[in-house]
Amino acid sequence: MDKGLLDKVKKRRTFAIISHPDAGKTTITEQMLLFGGVIRSAGTVKARKTGHYATSDWMEIEKKRGISVTSSVMQFEYQGKRINILDTPGHQDFSEDTYRTLMAVDSAVMVIDSAKGIEPQTKKLFKVVKQRGIPIFTFMNKLDRDGRPPLDLIAELEDLLGIEGVAMDWPIGSGQTLKGLYDIANNRVELYRKNGKDRFLPLDKNGKLPDSEPLSKDPQFKETLDEVDLIKGAGNKFDLNKIALGDQTPVFFGSALTNFGVETFLNSFVNLAPSPESHTVNGDEELSPEDPEFSGFVFKIQANMNPHHRDRIAFVRVGSGEFKKGLDVTLARTGKPIRLNNATEFMSSERVQVSDAVAGDIVGLYDTGNFQIGDSIYAGKRKVVYPPLPEFTPELFVRVTAKNVMKQKSFHKGMKQLVQEGAIQLYRNYQTNEYILGAVGQLQFEVFKFRMKNEYNSDVEMTSLGHRVARWIDPDQLDPAMSNSRNLLVKDRYGNPLFLFENQFAERFFHDKYPKVKLTEKL
Ligand code: G4P
């Protein structure tokens, strides 16, 4: 065993932040980058975030894409650990990439707006993370504003997400009356609006403040003590095994904007979050992250939108061994040997050439068309095949045709390649064979249209079918007469039949009409 490699792997913390737009993901990421010394002042990341752009304004998208390539992975050192934050875009750029990125992390941080509680996008992303059985850490944000009672927020985790919440700290007041945090894990109080070491007040062994401390007499502090007693007595008990499996989430409170509670959270997080673990490869073999032979898998491919540089970057999550420039690997799908000369490592502000990367790290490989999403690559003689990445059920659908009927060839070529790459999902109308595309976010369609034109010289026409509920049906139970005006019968790219229902009512109506027919949601 290479001790050097083991030490490096143990230092890695690779995670993504899941949240609903506006909960504060960018703000907390920025605070972490400040702690990591990557940026020097708040507002840096924010200024680069172009915010809400018109989806039709390509220039804006291009700008955004240019930025998102470099900020797709942010890497920094903190407390002797190497932190990799993988970006999971929200808003219009929510796409299958967002979900797939969650396949490449070892833990997740869930940021919740404490005034709003759990919102739809958080729920969707949570579901994906939960299936992976990896640790999830929760940060209840915006405590400087009036929010929901903390007990309610913890209860909601269990009620809506089915995960136990275990409080690591507890607010003293909230909004206008916010005084600080009762830090259960570190047995101290963190005062709000104080800087430096002065902001921490140690608690005695009974968890109380000395009488000489004015806060000890504050009615709000007394209320906090009562609540802390309650959760210590009747609340969930901190359980590392449950946390490791994603059955329990440590909950932290704070305000990212005012940098309150973030450091406490980050310190606990780097201690509790796991370093990279073994992967099951080749069906049933355990592959240790400290295995000396390099291997990894492609979880995302990003095409550079600049028409003058038609390069693409394949994002590889390293699963074992050490990546070095010039490494010779084999692409498992085709058996093709590839020399990895041109790789990039990601920093928040720029791309730098990668020197070495170990399990947990992400390397970006310049791709000239070799890679597909889900591909495994490995060095050495032992073939390594990572499990296939799951497919995610689209919710948005369009009918697509070539504008110019004379250019069917390039249309079909582009369609085939982009679908293979995993950029979009393709369906065919069961009866007419028309092409239908499915995506989880609107931007996927925009990007598809742009790439068809720029890379395949094919203008496409899209007609929106809007939001639809996709449900697969057992072919043996299928009767084409089941298709009506409120559902569309299509087949996926493997030929499996499914219905695209207009909405959930249409699905329920179908269910009432054909109670014996089993419909399944892929995920
Ligand atoms: P996102 O990446 O999850 O979409 O959220 P982002 O960090 O962009 O935050 C969304 C809004 O919430 C921003 O305000 C941000 O300043 C604010 N915010 C984030 N954390 C906190 C917090 O702890 N307390 C309070 N009060 N606000 C917070 P905005 O007005 O939309 O943007 P900006 O104009 O301030 O940049």
Please give the annotated binding residues for GTP, written as ranges: 19-26, 87-91, 141-144
Domains and CATH numbers, the chain: 11-272 (3.40.50.300), 279-378 (2.40.30.10), 396-520 (3.30.70.3280)
What is the 159 CA–ligand 1 centroid distance (Å)? 26
Q: Do residues 231 and 167 make contact, with C-beta atoms less than 8 angstroms apart?
A: yes
What 3-state class would DSSP assign to 99?
A: helix
Residue of the CA atom closest to atom 15 of ligand 1: 24
**Whole-number pLDDT of residue 39:** 66
**Whole-number pLDDT of residue 142:** 97
Beta bridge partners, 315, equal 300, 364
Q: Give the separation between CA 380 and CA 358, rounded to whole angstroms.
A: 16
Atom of ligand 1 nearest to the CA of 90: 4
Q: Give the separation between CA 201 and CA 215, rounded to whole angstroms.
A: 10
**Whole-number pLDDT of residue 45:** 52
What is the 46 CA–ligand 1 centroid distance (Å)? 9
Q: Give the separation between CA 506 and CA 484, rounded to whole angstroms.
A: 10
Buried-state track 68-80, b at ≥16 Cβ within 10 A, e below 16:
bbbbbbbbbebee
**Whole-number pLDDT of residue 47:** 45
What is the 275 CA–ligand 1 centroid distance (Å)? 30
**Whole-number pLDDT of residue 244:** 97
Tell me the whole-structure pTM to 2 decimals. 0.89
Which DSSP letter does residue 382 get? S
Atom of ligand 1 nearest to the CA of 23: 3
Backbone angles phi, psi at 329, to 5 degrees: -130, 170
Buried-state track 279-299, b at ≥16 Cβ within 10 A, e below 16:
bebeeeeebbbbbeebbbbbb
Q: Do residues 260 and 174 make contact, with C-beta atoms less than 8 angstroms apart?
A: no
Residue of the CA atom closest to atom 24 of ligand 1: 142
Residues of the chain with pLDDT under 70: 1, 39-71, 91-93, 303-311, 344-355, 523
**Whole-number pLDDT of residue 70:** 46
Q: Which residues line ligand 1 (CB under 6 A)?
A: 19, 21-27, 46, 90, 141-142, 144-145, 255-257
**Whole-number pLDDT of residue 64:** 46
Helices (H), 71-165: 96-101, 120-132, 150-156
**Whole-number pLDDT of residue 88:** 85
**Whole-number pLDDT of residue 63:** 46
